Structure 1
Amino acid sequence: MSTSRNKLAVVDEHNTCLVYDISTKELLFQEPNANSVAWNTQCEDMLCFSGGGFLNIKANNFPVHQQKLQGFVVGYNGSKIFCLHVYAMSAVEVPQSAPMYQYLEKKMYKEAYQIACLGVTENDWRDLAIEALEGMDFDTAKKERKKHGESDNELFLADVHAYQAKFHEAAKLYKKTGNNGRALNMYTDLCMFDYAKDFLGSGDPKDTKMLITKQADWARNINEPKAAAEMYLSAGEHLKAIEIIGDHGWVDM
């Protein structure tokens, strides 16, 4: 039974996993090729089942996510799956990334956050925060930041402004919170190079090189090859500059 005892999962004689609503006795869904099944003890809508040399993880009504695994599933707790193979019991750590992204695709950010709390990678957490911000679910995005030790509300508000296209407001808050690098990256990604230069100051020469290189990339993309070549040379990207110069036969550069 599921954690709330509202759902029942069974495997029948045809190796089909059947999931029922206990109160209505309605068949909610069924999946083939199962020999054992276990509910996640930390999440009502997640179960896993084994069969045919595969482990199958199913969240809600989404398609199953498969990976190879020998044996019988006997338990599922958070991101840890307990499996019996012959006479040996093993605990397998399985990141819950796949179901998290299934929820994200449907813009179900709160549910995706609940899955992430079971165990996902740092990159997955970052994707969750970005998707939530883009979807204007600031509550979920803020929870993700706090979970990773970022409690500066003004910095969070700066990110919100950035995703609302209020770039100058975002830049002011980035500067106020001592995060000039974020403002620099934001303006650079937007090809707003004149604004980006305001955040260079006497900082790291790598930032200056990055800015000039990105500006050169942009000039190249909008078919301004001479300006691009000059900027590549200025940034020390000589091979890129030589490639453009050679393509246009500019011997005087």
Structure 2
Amino acid sequence: MTTPYSGQVTPLGLPEMSSPMYMARVGCVACHYQKESGGARKYTGTTFFPSKEACVKCHGSEFKGIWEETGKALKGAQRKFTDKLEKARSAVSSAGLKGEPEKKIRAKLAKVESRYEFLIASRGEHNIYLASEILRRGNTSLNEIGTDLGASLPDISDDPLISGMYCATMCHPKVGVKVPPETVRYKGKTMPHKAHTEFGGGCVKCHDIGAHKQTPLKKDAKAFCVNCHEGGP
């Protein structure tokens, strides 16, 4: 079954990316224990909503409000993405393409739409890493569509869930982990990591952003380095 929590999403053409809580064998009832009852519920059964206190119950008081903040960040990213998607649809419809060019670009748009529908229907909060991956890939595809059509689409690359900065703006500050760190070691040298993040473009400029703690340096990162460093780092 394709689910965001388990991260088993290969049928959508996405890499398998399980939620850390799924990997830790945390079941639904760990968070979903707030009952909705009354009215027709005595006939249809009880729905268990996620409790706002679930994060605190397991992770401590520093995680108070993290669920609401995650939902707010995701909804903000979705608003931007929805607007860009609508503009891309309009651009495709008015482009007057025919034959193979139209077929190719509509297939790319359909893939973006399918993954985005999955993200919304499955509640991306269940796996924010996968949600970020879907939004980031979708944004890249929409940019390509805009370029192919010569259409101007909104630039939403600075949204934390697309730039990869969501780790630094959501969870880590609550537990006192500094992201990005001031310095990192690279090829035996101490590099001013924080200074590089201030150039803009977010983490995805240099890193592939995957599941929790999976942020390897891109294989072609040197191409970005040579913009400032002669011969690369």
TM-score (norm 2): 0.22
Higher-Rg structure is: 1
Q: Which has the higher contact order (CA 8 A, sep 6+)?
A: 2
Give the strand-richer structure, 1 or 2.
1
TM-score (norm 1): 0.20
Give the helix-richer structure, 1 or 2.
2
